[in-house]
Amino acid sequence: QQQVKQSPQSLIVQKGGISIINCAYENTAFDYFPWYQQFPGKGPALLIAIRPDVSEKKEGRFTISFNKSAKQFSLHIMDSQPGDSATYFCAASRSSGGYQKVTFGIGTKLQVIP
Amino acid sequence: DAGVIQSPRHEVTEMGQEVTLRCKPISGHNSLFWYRQTMMRGLELLIYFNNNVPIDDSGMPEDRFSAKMPNASFSTLKIQPSEPRDSAVYFCASSVAGRSETQYFGPGTRLLVL
């Protein structure tokens, strides 16, 4: 049972285009929503994160949009570049047994073509 | 500044053999996580240590898996006996106390059990 549902699983975008990855969750106890970026042969690295009291967070070309009532959030990559080609994971965390337990989506493999 | 260090990076073994994966967290981080990544299930938390003590091992698949953290700078994940279905990439991650929602991942160990 996936607690964090992510789509699409793969995405091809032209250079300069907008990449959009969507995630949805059910558990309203989640209180922190990070996105991780993973390049081949590397571990995931934190890219950007948002808390549910904010509807949008922007860092450079990366923006998280958050819809608390719909329990959905998305990552937008503006002006996508070939160097953005990677796998992106949305995640959600909640307090569990005294620590913030992170649950990851299945991942989206993004390919940006020139 | 060294990140999380994992060894070996690749491991090929035969079914029934013992496998030991090693992790050195970032200095000063006192939370450590072991994850397993597969195409079908994505990133799954296996076990979480805080101050060298296992806090959440609910993700450990079965008794064949065990993990230890004898000191703040070293952890092992052992599989005995290994099975082909254990083939995956195993990641170790660490975080600062109280900030376990922000994790720093190692490069992973790619395990293939024949």
pLDDT digits (tens, 9 = 90+) for A72-100: 999 999 999 999 999 999 999 998 877 88
Residue A97: exposed, middle, or buried by beta-carbon count in 10 A (0-12, 13-18, 19+)?
exposed
Angle, alpha carbons B38-B41-B42 (nearest 5°): 65
Beta-carbon contacts of residue B43 (< 8 Å; ≥ 6 apart): A44, A89, A104, A107, B35, B36, B37, B91
Q: Does B25 touch chain A (CB under 8 A)?
A: no
* Pairing mode of beta strands A56-59, A62-67: antiparallel
Query: What tens digit of pLDDT does each residue of B65-100 get?
Result: 999 999 999 999 999 999 999 999 999 999 998 888
Residue B95 and residue B7 in contact, taking contact as beta carbons nearer than 8 Å = no
| Burial track B46-66 (b if 16+ CB lie within 10 A, e otherwise) | bbbbbeeebbbeebbeeeebe
Query: What tens digit of pLDDT does each residue of A10-51 get?
Result: 999 999 999 999 999 999 999 999 999 999 999 999 999 999
Is pLDDT of B104 > 70? Answer: yes
Distance of CA B44 to the CA centre of its chain: 10
Distance from CA of B15 to the nearest CA of A (A): 24
Distance of CA B109 to the CA centre of its chain: 9
pLDDT score, position A2: 67
User: DSSP letters of A47-111?
Assistant: EEEE-TT-SEEEETTEEEEEETTTTEEEEEESS--GGG-EEEEEEEEEEETTEEEEEE---EEEE
Pick among A5, A37, A100 to test the B interface (most B CBs inside 10 A):
A100
pLDDT score, position A1: 57
Q: Which of A44, A96, A105 sits opposite B105 (nearest CB)?
A: A44
pLDDT score, position B99: 83
CA-to-CA separations, B47 to A111, B7, B58, in angstroms, rounded: 32, 18, 7
